[in-house]
Chains A and B, each alone.
Chain A
């Protein structure tokens, strides 16, 4: 099964949950960091990197001597990567999403393919070689992450072809293109809910954003039981009940958990009790979600 660990708000606990789950996964697993703008899973899992791949996106370059100034490439570009000033074509490669439309409509052969560097993908192993690992890192200055995420997805498929395994994806935060792109190809979205007012607000946003994908969405509350926040915990539980979201686990708010995180340690190693919590979460993830909407192929996200 393929699981994306997602959240609306950043800092909800996606990486902590992903890293601890990976360490107690007892069947073949690939764990991947899809937060390619700010990857941090490697800080907890310390991968042995075995392969590094450069990723680029095909973008157009104008061969001006062949351009007939017909303007078709400019008209087809939804992203304003091609502009025309008094008929003269100008290309802004940073804006290009790599759809290839301009190449298809240029009959004069005035557009050549060149590459914009997106970032890198790094493959390796973690947890004494028991778990395979993949992470992406966006080039500094690159504004778009979905093209790199799509290449990360292809790399994951390649790794699965070598040896089938479950996939655990540390998804990007937020509810925009990166989060949607990462969640498109999974079976289960595990939403980590932070029961603070901000966290609850963004958790609801995330649930609503993922809703049109018709995915099997499940929830884990992180930092439950904080002093004076019973109402926050109750709000998340009530929302889950109301929307039929299975609440798989509640991870308690404890000072030792924050200390463990700050030291780069895994929550699952804190105590027997913490280990049991993650084992229960793992087992609950493997149970079919009887109330879940039947998964459908998601539609192409806008601007992705």
Chain B
């Protein structure tokens, strides 16, 4: 894991490490935020973006920037969300689909989730 990473956010269907990864980024139910320095866990609700007609990905990217994360783990990140995260300086690990948030974090720590250089949707 690169050392500039202090906090990561995982799109999630619930608030804990044992909840399932939500494969959607912009319309994810919420994000489990993990502080990699002490492995403490926080949760950000994303319900407001779920119901937007357009711009959910951009709003969610803003939320990630405000949360101060350096990387996002999710299933599918659309082109506008990807551009927004890039503008915010947040790295993206995508194709994280299935399994729990804990599984995703462990895979990230083992270096199994590369940073993407293009959106996958």
Task: List residues of A whose CB falls within 8 A of some B CB.
Answer: 79-81, 83-86, 88, 90, 92, 94-95, 302-303
CB-based contact B53/A85 at 8 Å: no
Q: A95-B55, A302-B53 given. 12 additional CB < 8 A pairs?
A: A80-B54, A80-B58, A83-B59, A83-B87, A84-B62, A85-B89, A86-B65, A86-B88, A90-B84, A94-B80, A95-B58, A303-B54
Partner of B80, one of A86, A95, A303: A95
Of A81, A85, A94, A302, which one neighbours B62 at CB under 8 angstroms? A85
Residue of B nearest to A89 (CB): B87
Chain A minimum-CB-distance residue to B85: A85
Interface residues of B in 24-52 (CB under 8 A from A): 52
B interface: dominant SS = helix
Chain A, residue nearest B79 (CB): A94
Given the complex, which residues of A lie within 8 Å of B54, measured CB to CB? 79-80, 95, 303
CA of A302 to CA of B88 in the docked complex: distance in angstroms? 29
Asked if A85 and B65 make an inter-chain contact with CB atoms under 8 angstroms apart, the answer reads yes
Nearest-CB residue, chain A, relative to B86 = A90
Q: What bracket does the count of chain B residues touching chain A fall in?
A: 10 to 19
Q: Give per-residue flags for B109-121: 1 if the beta carbon is below 8 A from chain A beta carbons, else 0.
A: 0000000000000
Name which residue of chain B comes closest to A176, CB basis. Answer: B53
28 A–B contacts from the bound complex (CB under 8 Å): A79-B54, A79-B55, A80-B54, A80-B55, A80-B58, A80-B59, A83-B58, A83-B87, A84-B62, A85-B62, A85-B84, A85-B87, A86-B65, A86-B88, A90-B84, A90-B87, A90-B88, A92-B58, A92-B80, A92-B83, A94-B80, A95-B54, A95-B55, A95-B58, A95-B80, A302-B53, A303-B53, A303-B54
Contacts of A95 in B (CB 8 A): 54-55, 58, 80
Most buried by B among A81, A88, A92, A94: A92
Residue on A with the closest CB to B52?
Answer: A80
Residues of B within 8 A of A302 (CB): 53
- Please, which residues of chain A bring their CB within 8 A of the CB of B55? 79-81, 95
